Amino acid sequence: MIITKKAIPRRTVLRGLGTTLALPLLESMVPALSAIAKTDAKVARRFSVVYVAHGYAPGFWTPKGTGADYELTMPLQPLAKFRDRMLLLSGVDNTAALQRPGDPRGGHGRMAPAFMCGVHAKPTQGADFQAGVSVDQIAAQHLGKETQLPSLQLSLEPVDFSGSCDSGYSCVYTNTLCWRGPTMPLPMEDNPRAVFERLFGDSGTTEGRLRAKRIREKRSILDSVLDKARTLSEGTSASDRRLFDEYLQSIRDVERRLETAEAQSSRELPVVAQPAAVPQTFPEYAKLMLDLQILAYQADLTRVSTFMLAKELSGRTYPEIGVAEGHHALSHHGDMEDKLSMLTKVNAHHTSMLAYFLDRLQSIPDGEGTLLDHSVVLYGSGHGDPNKHDPINVPLAIFGGDLIKGGRHVHHDHQHVANVHLALLHTLGVPAESVGDGNAAISLT
Amino acid sequence: MAERLWSGCRRRRALATSAVLGVAWLQASAGVAAPSPQNSSQRRAEGAPSESASAPGASKTPGTGAQHDAGLLKRYCITCHNNRLKTAELSLETIDPAHVAKDAATWEKVLKKLQSGAMPPMGRPRPDAAAYASFASWLTGELDGVARANPKPGRPATFHRLNRVEYQNAVRDILGLELDSSALLPGDDAAFGFDNIGDMLTVSPDLLDRYLSAANKISRLAVGDTSVQLGSAMYPISQYLLQADRMSEDLPFSSRGGAAIRHYFPADGEYTLKVRFAGNSPIGASSMRERPPQTLDVRIDGDRVAQLTTTGRDFEQPADVGAVETKVMVKAGPRVVGVSFPRSTVMAETRFPQLFPWGNSAAFGTNTGSVRYLNVSGVEVTGPQNPQGLGDTPSRQRIFTCRPTQTSQEAACAKKILGGLARRAYRRSVTPADVQVLLGFYEKARAERGFDGAMQVAVERLLVDPDFLFRVERDPVRTAPGSNYRVDDLALASRLSFFLWSSVPDEELLQLAEKGTLKQPAVLEAQVKRMLADQRSSSLVTNFAAQWLYLRNIRGANPDSYQFPDWDDNLRVALARETELFLDYQFRADRGVPELLTADYTFLNQRLARHYGIPNVYGEHFRRVQLKGEYNRGGLLGHGSIQLVTSFANRTSPVVRGKWLLENFLNYTPPPPPPDVPDLPAVGKDQAKLPLRQRVENHRKNPVCAGCHNVMDPLGFALENYDAIGRYRVRDEGSVIDSSGATPDGTKFEGLHGLRSIMEKRQVEFVATVTEKLLVYAIGRGVEYYDQPAVRAIVRDAAADNYRWSSLIQGIVKGIPFQMKQARLPEEKVAQ
């Protein structure tokens, strides 16, 4: 679907992409987009989380040397270009994921909720799951007030494969990274077309008046639905209504988003083509999803995004780099040389995707600087050494412009990852008091 | 070996659990009550939900029985399961056999162990077979009696959202529109192996956003959109699909390659069809000049609309090189666009003769020195240019049950249409208020959009209504908290249709429900029969069985193409199809559940038969094939699909296969390894060269590991002859495969045949497992201890009928968990 910024006649051609995969952003659009709405000359801050499962084998993350003088390990080589922007952390623990008596042995089910929410996931297989509020959603509550979408949640794996969940843990703990509330997981989008439509709506046009009209239609529908829903829930108990209350809450949230969208309906949007299908190779797929996040930032449709680059328990192979064994199988390396070698290749492959993201962020002007200048990107994993599901010393790197002092490796002494998150939130201007079980923000300077 | 593991009760929990598993293979004859056909007919006559009968031979006198059984408990169980030791966190010291009702949950756990013969553990004293059976039998009777006296139907979610599949099917049945909901809605989280568990189906603003978009799209396609914009859809074709033969049943017999695409044409009008080609690998510069033009047939619903010629392209050239396109007038609706090459039966003499591609791999595009066949890489449909009208699509026919010819007729017609749609969508009779809501939207849009356009807006509103998206089962007013009640007929109709069709009830069910006659046993039984015979019951294959047997994972499998050069998407599709057709046959022909494992036939096409090494199967269509012993196939365990989804990308895993079998066929989840299991010692490079069996046997050398692995691994070893993509092999890493094994109690078995014999001995457990999984799927909640009497009753009743699927399904529908519900308890406590 090519969206033009002028009012388009109804017969405008909407064209699919075919075999091309990168979104061809026209350069001429970029200057216009850089004048994104700012309040009080304050720059719009973006927050991105890029999560990879299964950590790093010991010795492959923590560099030798601290401060500015350190040696990048092999899997981090693709990030060499961004060394001066990168705050590399070691000695940070995913403390909430430590096994407690009574926990199922696995661990994968604990890793992501602990990393993202700073809480110990309730050990259950059933529907009584419970986590916390994830760091991106805390950020979205604040940063998302001015945008149509409070946040974006993207992944590269569908959730409907059987047996893809950690034994003893509800599937939801590995299917998603993002939690609006302890019992409110958010679905992660793995379909690029669907992401595209969420960003640009289903009106098929960027023309302000028509988009506003469509928004008003949706609001009218939702008002009517809310009325109906209220009568439907009369006479039911609170516990019965739990899911239905989420439905009511969701309606109100969407209404709020539509309000914002309507207010911004005269905004210009870039000329892009809609993705046709899920790309067949991992690098193409990952880059396409990253491009969509960039697009969302550029058009200020959202300021928070979370990307699950690799899912916990993922069995994905990476034939493009010569790795024919599944990621999860490799992560139980048993200190065997061949497995370690393949695992670190996968790690490097993932960081090269991150490098692509950072590169694109840096190439896009945003106000006085670039998107990267005004972003905070968090890259990490819930696992330290994945061999024994060890949440100690997890990989964690923060990239940012003026907000983050990069170019150094800081080694902590068993710091709770939630405290790092809290510090990041404060840096972004989000007035959060705590993240999960964390007790105090660390210093990032 | 047993002695080494045991040093009295003071053992690590690890050994305790391993010992439990260690004897899970003793004969399962103990404790399972004999079937009682006369009781089942009695029950039908009574009209009450199915009740469990006490087993023959059970001690009827509480006094004698309890005393007798207390003695057994003291002698064989309490030595370990007492208050001081609490082995496996279970104490039976204070449990009272005279009042089983007090601790029914614990007793059910005890019974499960007795039914599989797992307790007392091997090496410990156990009663003689008769006493063992008598005790198990008595306990079954007691538990069933408790359930009879005080039934617990459980409490599925009050608000149960439709999942993605159900939404898709509902749209199909209400609006007559077939579409793929995975493009419109996110996936649903699963629990207990299924994605239709009410309490797991959460709602988020993101999901609601998607529902709004989906409603808009669907309503426009279904009603027809007068303002339809020029759109384009790309259908890429996997590069791993070998296009050497007829690719689809929708393409002519004389065709080769290409694809048949299902596309929805939104309006009558002119459409451009563009076909792109995959690049040929040039074999020397001369091949580029010598490549002859090839003819491409383009068909719509089987009628040829164009014949185009192309010289194709080399893979280095841009995608559009050699692409062809044509403009066609097409009528609105779902149609099959078929592109294919005519099969050449005569070849000109050329410098590079075309060789037949058997044994070639799509992955590598190898073709032993010949000019490669030209492959289609994608089809793009753009249109409509100059839309002529909305046409007469199936969905428009379904929706417009009246057509106003004058403006004065419109209001009444709108009311009729919307009333009818709402009835199907809300799964009940509609109130004037229901219709008025929809009419409101119609009226607002009428002036600007016309009759049809205004109808679209109303349908859009319908599709996001909570009455559509949620199945609501509220407790009837003035129901005492915690009491049991029978679900009303409308709720029953929905439960039936979502169980058997994964869709909304049809008119017949709704009418019976409204009359209040659906609950009558004869009516209910007849309806189940009708519904199973209906085509929509294929959801039991595509939804229930596909999740139970992990078949959905086939599309995500990614075998290493260097180790498995024979792997391509043709094989992927064929493996899935074999199992799909096999399962479909089981349901349609109402076979017995054990036949899943014992079948001596399967469904094959040429590609799959070649993979399996089965001769004399030609052509890409599937047909039933009788299996001979030497084919080494038969039953689900011989299906390549199952072997594929229980393997890794680069090798088999006997442990994964063994565990999968225990969980999915015998309802036994091996506990995860204990927390302090030491790592297997790091081994030298030589380790990698050993056949997999020997590498895995390291697990069993360590006694801490042996307990569980002695049970799992032999099951997996029995299937070691089937590699990670389901092909039969005799050697692994150079050594002949050893597929022999033994159960912990010493029974030897070998290969698929031996595994099938082992499973046949556990037939009742297998059927009980299938029943339990089917029950979870049917009621949308996990199965609890208090559902076990119902499961036992279903299995008992079905035995007389050789465990046919219809017996199991009828039994579930008749049972208490399906027909009744417990009202919420005070203080909203979860039902105990």
Q: Write the pLDDT tens digit of every residue in A231-282.
A: 888 777 777 888 888 888 899 999 988 888 888 777 666 666 667 678 878 9
pLDDT at B56 > cutoff 50: no
Answer yes or no: do B828 and A15 touch at CB < 8 A: no
Name the residue facing A17 among B234, B556, B648 (closest C-beta).
B234
CA B334 and chain centroid, separation: 27
* A283 CA: distance to closest CA in chain B (Å): 16
Answer with the residue of higher pLDDT: B387 or B368.
B387
For position A205, what pLDDT does the model report? 60
A9, closest residue in chain B (CA to CA): B229
* A402 CA: distance to closest CA in chain B (Å): 32
For position B687, what pLDDT does the model report? 55
Kindly list the residues from chain A whose CB atom is less than 8 angstroms away from the CB atom of residue B469: 247
pLDDT at B717 > cutoff 60: yes
Is residue A11 very low, low, confident or very high in pLDDT (cuts 50, 70, 90)? very low
For position A271, what pLDDT does the model report? 61
Give the best residue of A243, A280, A285, A337 to mutate against chain B (max B CB count within 10 A).
A243
Q: Which of B75, B462, B422, B456 is nearest to B266 (CA)?
A: B456
Alpha-carbon span B622 to B608, nearest angstrom: 9
A130, closest residue in chain B (CA to CA): B200
Kindly list the residues from chain A whose CB atom is less than 8 angstroms away from the CB atom of residue B440: 224
pLDDT at B828 > cutoff 60: no
Answer yes or no: do B649 and A315 touch at CB < 8 A: yes
Q: Which of B30-44, B185-199, B654-668, B787-801 has the lowest mean pLDDT?
A: B30-44
Give the best residue of A160, A226, A339 to mutate against chain B (max B CB count within 10 A).
A160
Give the best residue of A184, A215, A221, A337 to mutate against chain B (max B CB count within 10 A).
A221
Phi, then psi, of A340 in degrees rounded to 5: -60, -40
Strand order in the sheet with B333-342: B255-265, B333-342, B294-300, B303-310
Cβ pair A18, A277 in contact under 8 A: no
Name the residue facing A106 among B457, B650, B672 (closest C-beta).
B672
B470 and chain A: CB distance < 8 Å anywhere?
Answer: yes
Amino acid at B63: G
Q: Are strands B820-822 and B484-486 parallel, antiparallel or unpaired?
A: antiparallel
Answer yes or no: do A18 and B378 touch at CB < 8 A: yes
A155, closest residue in chain B (CA to CA): B186
Answer yes or no: do B205 and A257 touch at CB < 8 A: yes
Answer yes or no: do B157 and A243 touch at CB < 8 A: yes
What are the Cα distances from residue B241, in Å, to B231, B318, B377? 27, 20, 10
Cβ pair B624, B600 in contact under 8 A: no
* A133 CA: distance to closest CA in chain B (Å): 14
3-state helix/strand/coil string of chain A: CCCCCCCCCCCCCCCECCCCCCCCCCCCHHHHHHCCCCECCECCCEEEEEECCCCCCCCCCCCECCECCCECCHHHHHHHHHHHHEEEEEEEECHHHCCCCCCCCCCHHHHHHHHHHCCCCCCCCCCCCCCCCCHHHHHHHHHHHHCCCCCEEEECCCCCCCCCCCCCCCCHHHHCCCEEECCEECCCECCHHHHHHHHHCCCCCCCHHHHHHHHHHHHHHHHHHHHHHHHHCCCCCHHHHHHHHHHHHHHHHHHHHHHHHHHCCCCCCCCCCECCCCCCCHHHHHHHHHHHHHHHHHCCCCCEEEEECCCCCCCCCEHHHCECCCHHHHHCCCCCHHHHHHHHHHHHHHHHHHHHHHHHHHHCEECCEECCCCEEEEEECCCCCHHHCCCCCCCEEEEECCCCCCCEEEEEEEEEHHHHHHHHHHHCCCCCCCCCCCCCCCCCC
Sorted by where each starts, the structural domains of chain A and their CATH numbers stand as 1-42+197-277 (no CATH), 50-190+278-445 (3.40.720.10)
Is residue B43 very low, low, confident or very high in pLDDT (cuts 50, 70, 90)? very low
pLDDT at B233 > cutoff 80: yes
Kindly list the residues from chain B whose CB atom is less than 8 angstroms away from the CB atom of residue A239: 824, 828
Answer yes or no: do B204 and A186 touch at CB < 8 A: yes
Is residue B657 very low, low, confident or very high in pLDDT (cuts 50, 70, 90)? very high
pLDDT at B467 > cutoff 90: yes
B168 and chain A: CB distance < 8 Å anywhere?
Answer: no
Share of chain A above pLDDT 90, in %: 57
Name the residue facing B202 among A193, A222, A246 (closest C-beta).
A246
Answer yes or no: do A191 and B182 touch at CB < 8 A: yes
Interface contacts (A, B; CB < 8 Å): 260
Cis amide linkage into residue B384, ω under 30° from 0: yes
**Chain B, window 654-713: residues with a beta carbon less than 8 angstroms from a chain A beta carbon:** 660, 669, 672-675, 679-680, 682-683, 685, 688
Kindly list the residues from chain B whose CB atom is less than 8 angstroms away from the CB atom of residue A249: 205
Name the residue facing A250 among B203, B217, B233 (closest C-beta).
B203
Is residue A143 very low, low, confident or very high in pLDDT (cuts 50, 70, 90)? very high
Across A352-380, average pLDDT: 93
Answer yes or no: do B184 and A13 touch at CB < 8 A: no
Alpha-carbon span B514 to A183, nearest angstrom: 37
B210 and chain A: CB distance < 8 Å anywhere?
Answer: yes
Q: Is the dihedral of CA B775, B778, B784, B788 positive or negative?
A: negative
pLDDT at B4 > cutoff 50: no
B364 and chain A: CB distance < 8 Å anywhere?
Answer: no
Across A392-414, average pLDDT: 92
- Tokens (6 digits) for B101: 């009702």
Kindly list the residues from chain A whose CB atom is less than 8 angstroms away from the CB atom of residue B660: 163
Across B743-753, average pLDDT: 89
B184 and chain A: CB distance < 8 Å anywhere?
Answer: yes
Answer yes or no: do B649 and A1 touch at CB < 8 A: no
Bridge partners, B602 (sequence order): B625
Tens of pLDDT, residue by residue over B479-495, are: 898 899 999 999 999 99
Cβ pair A417, A111 in contact under 8 A: no
Is residue B160 very low, low, confident or very high in pLDDT (cuts 50, 70, 90)? very high
B434, closest residue in chain A (CA to CA): A228
For position B780, what pLDDT does the model report? 96
Name the residue facing B205 among A125, A254, A319 (closest C-beta).
A254
Share of chain A above pLDDT 70, in %: 87
Give the best residue of A159, A162, A244, A385 to mutate against chain B (max B CB count within 10 A).
A162
For position A269, what pLDDT does the model report? 66
pLDDT at B356 > cutoff 50: no
Answer yes or no: do B202 and A280 touch at CB < 8 A: no
For position B21, what pLDDT does the model report? 46
Answer yes or no: do A18 and B186 touch at CB < 8 A: no
B554, closest residue in chain A (CA to CA): A161
**Chain B, window 790-829: residues with a beta carbon less than 8 angstroms from a chain A beta carbon:** 824, 828
Q: Which of A199, A198, A214 is nearest to B186 (CA)?
A: A198
Give the best residue of B159, B161, B659, B696 to mutate against chain A (max A CB count within 10 A).
B159
For position A214, what pLDDT does the model report? 85
B552 and chain A: CB distance < 8 Å anywhere?
Answer: yes
DSSP state of B692: H
Answer yes or no: do A165 and B563 touch at CB < 8 A: no
B212 and chain A: CB distance < 8 Å anywhere?
Answer: yes
Give the best residue of A240, A311, A323 to mutate against chain B (max B CB count within 10 A).
A240
- Tokens (6 digits) for B404: 């106003």
* A50 CA: distance to closest CA in chain B (Å): 20
Alpha-carbon span B716 to B723, nearest angstrom: 11
Kindly list the residues from chain A whose CB atom is less than 8 angstroms away from the CB atom of residue B553: 161-164
Question: Average pLDDT, whole number, for chain B?
Answer: 85
Kindly list the residues from chain B whose CB atom is less than 8 angstroms away from the CB atom of residue A186: 204, 206
3-state helix/strand/coil string of A134-189: CHHHHHHHHHHHHCCCCCEEEECCCCCCCCCCCCCCCCHHHHCCCEEECCEECCCE
For position A260, what pLDDT does the model report? 85
Kindly list the residues from chain B whose CB atom is less than 8 angstroms away from the CB atom of residue A387: 679
